[in-house]
Homo-oligomer: A and B are copies of this chain.
Amino acid sequence: MREYLENVRKKMPLVHNITNYVTVNDVANILLACGGSPIMSDEAEDVEDITSVCGGLNINIGTLHRQSIEAMFRAGKKANELGHPVLLDPVGAGASSLRTDTALRLMKELDLCVIRGNISEIKTLALGSGTTKGVDADAADAVTEETLGRSIAFVKRFAKDAGAVIAVTGAIDLVSDGTACCVIRNGRPEMGKITGTGCQLSGMMTAYVTANPEHPLEAAAASVCAMGLAGEIGFRRMQEGDGNATYRNRIIDAIYNLTGEQLEKGADYEIR
């Protein structure tokens, strides 16, 4: 795990983010915290230039606009042309036709390096339709110790079909390239009470896969471990009266201070 984190700090990858306006500030700050550098641009006329000066592209459909959809395709095609890794975060896929259709079209027309979402969003993409309730995963879909075997098989198969690393995050996180599946148990349930921990992870994951181009599976898994570990470290620093606003800051702070050694020691994962 250690070297994937350290490569981000060393190479300081510039990441182009086309992301929602809800959590964009936290995405920018966590990218800086992990050692990357963020730039945001979602205007179709601007994105090809911007993605060209960057090393990776993070596409998040959390607040789609007709014009930003155009920007996603133009930026994605340019990034593909340049060989930059492209990550898709299909926020809310399954909750609306526009989100589901846009995510499916992005999968079809772009060469994606990673797709990261919650289990309901990922199932929507795998099945081509869905019933996601809002932006959180359906309880019925949850990856638990009971459903783990089936969930791993599903994620592996979908990774193979999609030709991308698939990262499903939740109580237990699964990251697979179609062959191996990394099962990760870092994190805290209270992270779900902060808006945008998923978006933040997608931003940081883009930096990790950009800085570790030969190892997208390992880099994606390392970023998931880092985020979960930051959630654990941040939670230990919570004091009486603190809540989700302070917790948000403590997690980003923990990413800022996280060392390769800490990640190596604290990462709680197994390969299946």
Given contacts A53-B133, A134-B37, A195-B28, whether A246 and B249 have CB atoms under 8 Å apart is yes
A127 at interface, CB cutoff 8 A: no
**Digit string of A42-57 for contact with B (CB within 8 Å is 1, else 0)?**
1101100110011000
Which of B26, B241, B255 is in CB contact (< 8 Å) with A257? B241
Which A28-72 residues have a C-beta within 8 angstroms of B? 28-29, 32-33, 37-43, 45-46, 49-50, 53-54, 62-67
A241 touches B246 (CB 8 A): no
Given contacts A23-B25, A134-B14, whether A50 and B249 have CB atoms under 8 Å apart is no
In the assembled complex, which residues on chain B have CB atoms less than 8 Å from the CB atom of A194? 29, 32
Within the assembled complex, what's the spacing in Å between the Cα atoms of A53 and B248? 27
A99 touches B46 (CB 8 A): yes
How far is the CB of A97 from the nearest CB of chain B, in Å? 6
In the assembled complex, which residues on chain B have CB atoms less than 8 Å from the CB atom of A244? 29, 32-33, 252-253, 256
Q: Can you give 15 A-B contacts (C-beta < 8 A)? A: A29-B245, A32-B193, A33-B245, A39-B95, A43-B98, A49-B98, A53-B95, A53-B133, A237-B241, A241-B257, A243-B254, A244-B256, A245-B249, A245-B251, A245-B256
